[in-house]
Structure 1
Amino acid sequence: MAAKLVIQQPEPVMESRESNQWDSGICDCFDNMSHCCAWFWCCPCLACKTSQLYGEALCLPLLDVFGCVRPITMAMRVSMRSRYNIGGTMCQDCVLATFCTPCSWCQMSREMKHRNIPVVLVATKNV
């Protein structure tokens, strides 16, 4: 009976050191006063910019003007929680999107800035 030799190459492993929580709280916009002031005075402009940086349509947040529940803000929060594996519920997202819209956009913007870590691939030497 002949023995079969199987060689298995190691596969690259991506280890995430990110938390499953938001990096900052919903009311932590005062940690960066210039950012907070910009959101206060021009929230629609900066919401559009955040949406574009996230990879969505530039003017998508402007659709929030037409409803009592902010569907675009809520959808962005749900998407961001899913992409970054952040805990929470759609109910929480709905409440924050409806009653804390500017703070919610601030939090999402800070989260994107915090998690914008470049991926580094490490080459291994074959032996």
Structure 2
Amino acid sequence: MAMSVVTTQPGTALLAPGVKTEMWTSGTCDCCEDMSTCCLGLWCPCCLRTQVSSGLGESHCLPLLDWISGGPYPPLIPPISLALRSTLRERYRIQGSIADDCCMVTCCSSCSWCQMARELKARRSPTHINITPTAPPGIVQVTLHPSQPTYTLQATPMAGLYPPMAT
């Protein structure tokens, strides 16, 4: 009798750990979507960079190393900007590559930092819960993030959890 080993259950899809499934929540040049971030990036880029770095759990002084790492001249490729952008992209499984990150931080550094700030702000926004009035009772639609699909859930009442209401 031949034995076969089931490696994947029917109906389940497994993603490899390195597969990137998300997209950036805003484009590189979408500064008008968040004018406060755009203004901060334009008028005080050091402040924006320290906020993004802190938002990623790194030292707020880390982005300042981009300016001192090249000696009297700024570096051709800002290493800290590249590392933080790659970290953010990997953490949130955003599609892209290190080459894309390198081009962005080298050619359009300010826009890149503004995009990273908008991404952190969007990822930290509260979960949106939409209850559709036309849906049958007990159906709840949940959107975890604006860039993700809406999930429809069937709510089941838990009997005996609450005392009966007086009429």
TM-score, normalised with respect to structure 1? 0.74
Equivalent of 1:23 in 13, 25, 28: 25
- 1:117 deviation in Å? 4.7
Extract unaligned runs of 5+ from structure 1: 1-18, 120-124
Larger relative helix fraction: 1
- Preserved contact between residue 40 and residue 47 of structure 2 (Cα < 8 Å): no
Quick one: higher RCO (CA 8 Å, sep 6+), 1 or 2?
1
Tell me, what secondary structure is at the counterpart of 1:96? Answer: helix
TM-score, normalised with respect to structure 2? 0.57
Quote the residue 2:98 is aligned against: 90
Greater C-alpha Rg? 2
Count matched residues: 103
CA distance in 2, matches of 1:95, 1:32: 23
Quote the residue 1:3 is aligned against: none
RMSD: 1.9
Q: Deviations over 1:32-57 (max 9, x none)?
A: 22321111011012101210121001
Stretches of 4+ aligned residues off by more than 6 angstroms? none
CA distance in 1, matches of 2:28, 2:54: 21
In percent, how many aligned pairs have the same letter?
46
Quote the residue 1:111 is aligned against: 119
CA distance in 2, matches of 1:117, 1:83: 16
Alignment of 1:37-52 (within 5 A): 37-52=39-54
Extract unaligned runs of 5+ from structure 2: 1-20, 70-74, 128-157, 159-167
